[in-house]
Amino acid sequence: MSADAATAVAEQAGEAPEVARSYAEALLNVAGRDNEVDAVLDELDAIGTDVLQAHPKFAELLTSPLIPAREKDEILTRTFEGRALPTVVRFLRVLNRRGRLGTFGPIARTARAIWDLRQNRRPVLVRSAVALDENQVGHLRDRLTNMLDATPILQLEVDPSLIAGLVVQVGDDVYDASARNRLEQLRQRLIEGKTHEIQSRRDRFSHHG
């Protein structure tokens, strides 16, 4: 992956590009040596969601400047050793020693994004008026695979305001096939048609005058 692509990923993750990219790529290199990148990234996702987000007071404790790094290291060891992969535990302890536990989220997201790029995976946000069933998701995944020439990583959201249909977003590209969009297009055509009709009447009136 190019340096420019890695920088863009880091910026999207909300961290200084050189910091997030440096830690993320170091983690991927270590995990890659043991062929456990996907497992490591999955555990980081779980820690971010099930531990840090679910227990904000614990997260505050880990990032508090009032708690010595040595004490935080003991907390990390008691909490995660034997429950998480050794690579993950070492990563957390390294972040702690370097005063970077507060950047855990951005670094983990950057690592995930970089790995997806390396594996030719593309994150795709799909919004639908109602939840899609398994057949619909499978059909959509097949179409996106052919369209993107990559493996789509689907994030599914339900948005009743769409009325019907789908909105698919791949990076900055948005494909809007929702009923709401079609109704808006119809409304615009009606407005444009009405405007044209009014202008035509004015032109005829001016001509007769």
Convert the pLDDT of each residue in 8-38 to its tens digit: 444 444 446 688 899 999 999 999 999 999 9
d(CA 160, CA 128): 7
Q: Which residue has the higher pLDDT, 182 or 79?
A: 79
State the virtual CA torsion across 140, 141, 145, 150 in degrees, nearest 10. 140
Q: What is the percent of the chain with per-residue pLDDT over 70, rounded to a whole number?
A: 84
d(CA 62, CA 75): 8
C-alpha angle 9-57-100 in degrees, rounded to nearest 5: 40
Q: What is the mean pLDDT of residues 173-201?
A: 73
Determine the 3-state secondary structure of 209 from DSSP.
coil
d(CA 92, CA 46): 14
Determine the 3-state secondary structure of 122 from DSSP.
strand
Q: Give kind and range of the element (H or E) at residue 155.
A: strand 151-158
Nearest to 108 by CA among 118, 97, 100, 98: 100
For the segment 62-115, what is each residue's pLDDT rounded down to a tens digit? 999 999 999 999 999 999 999 999 999 999 999 999 999 999 999 999 999 999
Residues 6+ apart with CB under 8 A from 96: 62, 69, 72, 73, 76
pLDDT reading at 207 higher than 60 = no
pLDDT of 208 reads 54
CATH 1.10.520.20 fits 3-117, yes or no: yes
Report pTM: 0.68
The residue ranges of every structural domain in the chain are 3-117, 122-209
Euclidean distance between the first and final Cα of the chain, in Å?
69
Q: What is the percent of the chain with per-residue pLDDT over 90, rounded to a whole number?
A: 63
d(CA 152, CA 52): 28
Q: Which amino acid is at 115?
A: W
Nearest to 52 by CA among 12, 99, 19, 92: 92
